[in-house]
């Protein structure tokens, strides 16, 4: 598939020397829809495969890259300002904010999106008190499991576990790795928990998730992983169907990690496997920029925790 070949080339950190032939208009649309425009721009401007790329495509993507760099920088500086003076708390930086400096070669290649932090329930009020008066609560979500803050310029959400509506997760905090660039209390998830957090994010979208989240997953699968731990945790968190589907999809999009993905994939019963495989088939075409009406809701019933 020419489109998928081009997407693989533009998201590989060891790309080929030439960009595979593909309709540049369609390629640009798909890159933008899947959160990959900035990453593709960085590749085209920094690597040899950009030499033959159409100028119109390069200019289009460069605009996205410049915007993402500015947005990411503002969000990262805001997050550091929030966390730098917090001491004695456990704060786990989640999702793209944890990944951009850990997994990616440049802070502008991966859009941060919403900034999310995990904070234990018992420490939530201390976090709120420490953030005041610069930060105030905008709203609570998921029956109080998620709290959204703002300082008037940016927003940050805190939650109790791996995903916004998920339960408090002691293992997430126990296994977290210090992330001192953000402050003395800041951590990032272990690689295993980052895999599960990414899969949970995808599952809440019925696996019809932006392709950039599968690049996250691909890069996480390149880290040393305890496969038994991942599978056991997925079962305990009711993420086993989501993990099964996400590992099929990441292997489809990026065959280089197919073996690692297979090692993590949980066994499912026949009926469960068939249901998940139908969801995977529907989510496997990156050119389908929107799922069919009702398909995402039906898929969430199958894979969401």
Q: Where are the domains of the chain?
A: 191-305
Q: 61-118, pLDDT tens digit by residue? A: 999 999 999 999 999 999 999 999 888 899 999 999 999 999 999 999 999 999 999 9
| DSSP letter for each residue of 254-282 | -GGGHHHHHHHPPP--HHHHHHHHHHHHH
Q: What is the pLDDT of residues 51-65, one digit of tens each?
A: 888 999 999 999 999
Q: Is the pLDDT of residue 168 over 80?
A: yes
185 CB-side CA count, 13 A: 21
* Mean pLDDT, residues 25-42: 96
Question: What's the chain's average pLDDT?
Answer: 94
Question: How far apart are the C-alpha atoms of 243 and 180, rounded to whole Å?
Answer: 30
Q: How far is CA 127 from the centre of its chain?
A: 24
């Amino acid at each position: 598939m020419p489109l998928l070949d081009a997407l693989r080339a533009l998201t590989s950190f060891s790309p080929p020397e030439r960009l595979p032939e593909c309709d540049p208009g369609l390629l640009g649309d798909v890159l933008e829809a899947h959160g990959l425009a900035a990453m593709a721009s960085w590749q085209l401007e920094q690597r040899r495969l950009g030499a033959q790329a159409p100028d119109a495509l390069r200019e289009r993507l460069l605009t996205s890259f410049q915007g993402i760099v500015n947005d990411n920088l503002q969000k990262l500086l805001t997050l550091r300002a929030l966390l730098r003076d917090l001491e004695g708390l456990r704060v786990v930086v989640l999702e793209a904010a944890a990944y951009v400096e850990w997994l990616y070669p440049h802070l502008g290649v991966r859009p941060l999106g919403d900034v999310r932090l995990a904070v234990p329930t018992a420490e939530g009020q201390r976090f709120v008190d420490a953030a005041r008066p610069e930060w105030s609560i905008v709203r609570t979500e998921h029956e109080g499991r998620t709290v959204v803050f703002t300082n008037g310029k940016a927003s940050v959400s805190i939650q109790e576990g791996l995903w916004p509506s998920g339960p408090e997760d002691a293992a997430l905090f126990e296994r977290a790795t210090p992330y001192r660039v953000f402050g003395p209390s800041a951590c990032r998830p272990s690689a295993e928990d980052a895999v599960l957090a990414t899969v949970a994010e995808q599952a809440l979208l019925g696996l019809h998730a932006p392709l950039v989240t599968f690049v996250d997953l691909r890069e996480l699968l390149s880290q040393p992983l305890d496969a038994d731990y991942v599978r056991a945790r997925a079962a305990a968190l009711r993420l086993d169907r989501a993990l099964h589907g996400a590992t099929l999809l990441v292997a489809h999009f990026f065959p280089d990690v197919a073996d690692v993905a297979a090692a993590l994939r949980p066994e499912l019963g026949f009926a469960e496997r068939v249901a998940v495989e139908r969801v995977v088939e529907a989510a496997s075409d990156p050119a389908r920029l929107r799922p069919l009406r009702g398909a995402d809701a039906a898929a969430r019933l199958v894979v969401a925790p």
